[in-house]
Structure 1
Amino acid sequence: MSVRTPVPLRSEYRYFLRIPTRWGDNDAYGHVNNVQYYSWFDTVVSRFLLDTGEIDLRSSPLIGVVVETLCRHHAPVSFPDEVDAGLRVGRIGSSSVRFEIGIFRQGEEAAAASGHFIHVYVDRATQRVPQPIPDSFRAKLAPLLVAEGG
C-alpha cells in the first residue's frame, strides 16, 4: 500500500511564470499530454535561470545537466487553460540544485501537477566534471529555498 503524497499549494512556491496551453498540447482524451508537463517544468526553470543573469545559454562556463526528474499528476489540464508554473528550490548542494515545480490552473490553489528537476552543474567543455555553485548564484537561489518537499 502506497502513501498518498499531499497536493502542493500555490502559496508554497516563490516564483511564477504564466504559460498558455495550445490546442496541440491536448491528447486524444482531451487533456494535456504527459510530455507537455516536463516542457513546462523546463520552461519555468530555464526562465528563472535566465532572469538571474547567472546562466547564459551560449557562453556560461557552468551549465546545469538534468540528472533526475519526477512528475505527479493531481488533476487534468486542457486547452484553452493557462497555467501558472510555480518554482521553489528544495535543496542546494555543492554542485547540484533540486528545483521543485507546481503547475496550477488559473485561480486554483492546489497543483494540477507537481514534481522536480535535479540539475548538476558541470563544466561546459567536458559536460561531466561537477563544478561548485558560485556564491553569486547561491544568493539568487536562496529566496526560492524551502524545506525539501514542501
Structure 2
Amino acid sequence: MAEKGNRPDRDEYGYLCPVDSRWSDNDIYGHINNVVYYSYFDSTINRYLIEQGGLDIHDGEHIAYVVSSGCDYLEAAAYPDSLSVGMKVDKLGNSSVRYGLALFGAEGPAKATGFVVHVFVNRQSGRPVSIPAPLREALEKLV
C-alpha cells in the first residue's frame, strides 16, 4: 500500500463522477475485485464523452477503442463504500488520448490510480481518425 501523502487528491482531477459500489462488486476476500475498477474507469470516461463531448455510442460515425490501460491499487474499497472516479487528460494527441484516473472513497486520498488510452476510429472502417471537434473541446478542458 502507498503512503497517504504520495496519493493524489480529488483537486488534481478536472472531472469527478460518482460511482455506486454494488454488493456483486465484492469478491470472496471482502473487497471490490480488481477488474471492477476498470469498469468504474470505463463508465466514467464514457459518461464524460457522452455528456460533455456529444459522443453518440449507438449511431455516431466515430467511436473510441481502448488500446492500453493500467491500475495501481493503493487501498482496498468495499461495498457499500460511496465512491467517485476522478478523471483528467494526461496527453491529448491527434487521434488518441491518455486519461489519468483515480478512485476515491467518501473522503481521503485516492484508493487507486490508473490510466486508459483511447484511439478514436471510424466506426465502419476501424481506422484511426482525428478526434472530432466537440470531443476534442471537451477533452481540452481536462488537460
* TM-score (norm. length: structure 1): 0.88
Matched with 2:34 is: 34
Unaligned runs of 5+ in 1: 146-150
Matched with 2:52 is: 52
Across the aligned residues of Structure 1 and Structure 2, the Cα RMSD in angstroms comes to: 1.3
Matched with 2:107 is: 107
Q: 1:55-89 CA distances to partner (integer Å, 9 max, x unpaired)?
A: 10111111100000001000000111010111101
Q: Tell me the distance in 2 between the aligned counterparts of 1:135 and 1:47.
A: 18
Matched with 2:85 is: 85
Verify: 1:121 aligned to 2:120, yes or no.
Answer: yes
- Identity, % of aligned positions: 37
**DSSP-derived class of the 1:11 partner:** helix
Q: Tell me the distance in 2 between the aligned counterparts of 1:53 and 1:35.
A: 26
Q: Tell me the distance in 1 between the aligned counterparts of 2:44 and 2:82.
A: 14
**DSSP-derived class of the 2:110 partner:** coil
Structure 1 moving runs of 4+ over 6 Å: none
Q: Tell me the distance in 2 between the aligned counterparts of 1:88 and 1:107.
A: 19
Q: Tell me the distance in 1 between the aligned counterparts of 2:53 and 2:93.
A: 20
Q: 1:80-102 CA distances to partner (integer Å, 9 max, x unpaired)?
A: 10101111011110100111111
Q: Tell me the distance in 1 between the aligned counterparts of 2:110 and 2:41.
A: 13
* Deviation at residue 137 of structure 1 after TM alignment: 2.1
**DSSP-derived class of the 1:111 partner:** coil
Matched with 1:15 is: 15
* TM-score (norm. length: structure 2): 0.92
> What amino acid sits opposite 2:124 in the alignment?
A
> What amino acid sits opposite 1:131 in the alignment?
V
Count of residues in Structure 1 that have an aligned counterpart in Structure 2: 139
* Deviation at residue 53 of structure 1 after TM alignment: 4.1
